[in-house]
Amino acid sequence: MAEPLSQVVASMPRGRFLALMALFLGPAVAIYTLFSIYPLIATMALATYTTDSTGAYHFVGLANFVTLLTDAIWSKPFWNAAWNNLVFFAVHMLVQNPIGIALAGLLSLPGLKLKSLYRTIIFLPTMLSVVIVGFSWNLILSPLWGVAEGALKAVGLGSWFAPWLGLPSTALVTLALISVWQFVGIPLMLIYAALLNIPDELVDAGRVDGLGHLRIFLHIKLPLVLPTIGLVSILTFVGNFNAFDLIYSVKGALAGPNFASDILGTFFYRTFFGNQLQLGNPTMGAAVATVMFFIILCGVCLYLFFVQRRMRRYAF
């Protein structure tokens, strides 16, 4: 540590140092605590209460959670939403991240021309609002407009077309693929940046040994960017288990058809605010948010304690 700093800080009266820290840290800590941490805690606290017909709050302990997880009226939609959310996440992991990795691999090939143009175009959808993306795809896939059907017909696959967003069996996966289309830019950019950071000597060593681009990528580069792939996975997890906008703007709060595309975010919204079928219930809404918080927390902890620790060994 540089000498002047410790001298300055050491020679500063304690009160003045505290005032300085309060000035620098005060605004950030105050806003963050008041509008981020406190609401989280207050929401969890509210989840242990219930309201009666007069609007008074009564402490009920964990009863709301028991209701949510076991009472068929609540548990059926809850487990449906949780399962759908898992499917939504699986589609992202199986489609978005491999495509992102592959595109990053191609873009990081040495001497590739037009690199920044491709990068700019492929990242463009990520910048747009989920609402806009959802609606645009809604129109494109609509049988009324017939653009998707026409495109399939042009390549001789016209019979494959179905109103995917409207069918219970395909709505969720279609929505997940729309989300993949939009957000493939994130794994692409993060992995691309990690690939650029690999020391040239390692790649050169592979080339001297006569490896082609593909094998250099699979055997040298990919293992080195595993920590970034871990990071991408946890970002995908948090984003997916917190998703709401896409389903809400394409399918509405009821996440149709017949709740086939309901995920935890839309379930939370319906529980909290109510909809055509039920009244809003803040305490049960808080319970749903608390469960979502613990799901996300589990994911983050798993990442921190296992994935990142194990991957440190490969870090360079």
Partner 1 sequence: MLKQRAQSLGVHLILIAYSALALGPILLVVMNSFKARNAIFGAPLAPPNSDTFSLVGYAKVFKASHIGTYFANSLIVTLVSMGLVLLFGAMAAWALTEYKFRGSTALALFLSIGIMVPIRLGSVAILTMMRKSGLNDTLTALILVYVAQGLPLSIFILSEFVQQIPKDLRDAARCDGVPETRIFFEVIAPLLRPAIATVAVFTIVPIWNDLWFPLILTSSDSTHTITLGVQQFLGQYITDWNSVLAALSMAILPVVAIYVIFSRQLISGLTAGAVK
* Site residues (CB under 8 A) for partner 1, limited to 86-145: 103, 106-107, 109, 112-114, 116, 118-125, 127-132, 135-137, 139-140, 145
Return the number of the residue (161 or 273) whose C-beta is nearest partner 1: 273
CB of 172 to partner 1, least distance (A): 19
CB of 151 to partner 1, least distance (A): 9
Could you give the string, one character per residue 149-168, with x where binding to partner 1 holds by CB under 8 A and - elsewhere? Answer: -x------------------
Output the 3-class SS for the chain.
Answer: CCHHHHHHHHHCCHHHHHHHHHHHHHHHHHHHHHHHHHHHHHHHHHCCEEECCCCCEEECCCHHHHHHHHCHHHHHHHHHHHHHHHHHHHHHHHHHHHHHHHHHHHHCCCCCCCHHHHHHHHHHHHHCCHHHHHHHHHHHHCCCCCHHHHHHHHCCCHHHCCCHHHCCCCHHHHHHHHHHHHHCHHHHHHHHHHHHCCCHHHHHHHHHCCCCHHHHHHHHHHHHCHHHHHHHHHHHHHHHCCCCHHHHHHHCCCCCCCCCCCCHHHHHHHHHHECCCCECCHHHHHHHHHHHHHHHHHHHHHHHHHHHHHHHCCCC
| Region 202-261 residues binding partner 1, contact defined as CB under 8 A | 213, 228, 234, 238, 242, 244-245, 248-249, 252
CB of 31 to partner 1, least distance (A): 5
**Contact of 185 with 102, CB cutoff 8 Å:** no
Return the number of the residue (66 or 99) whose C-beta is nearest partner 1: 99
d(CA 77, CA 74): 6
Q: Does 11 bind partner 1 (CB under 8 A)?
A: no
Return the number of the residue (169 or 297) whose C-beta is nearest partner 1: 297
CB of 310 to partner 1, least distance (A): 19
Return the number of the residue (72 or 140) whose C-beta is nearest partner 1: 140
| Region 52-91 residues binding partner 1, contact defined as CB under 8 A | none
Could you give the string, one character per residue 183-202, with x where binding to partner 1 holds by CB under 8 A and - elsewhere? Answer: ------xx-xxx-xx-----
Return the number of the residue (259 or 268) whose C-beta is nearest partner 1: 268
Q: Does 302 bind partner 1 (CB under 8 A)?
A: no
Return the number of the residue (31 or 94) whose C-beta is nearest partner 1: 31
Q: Does 278 bind partner 1 (CB under 8 A)?
A: no
CB of 213 to partner 1, least distance (A): 7
**Contact of 236 with 126, CB cutoff 8 Å:** no
Q: Does 21 bind partner 1 (CB under 8 A)?
A: yes
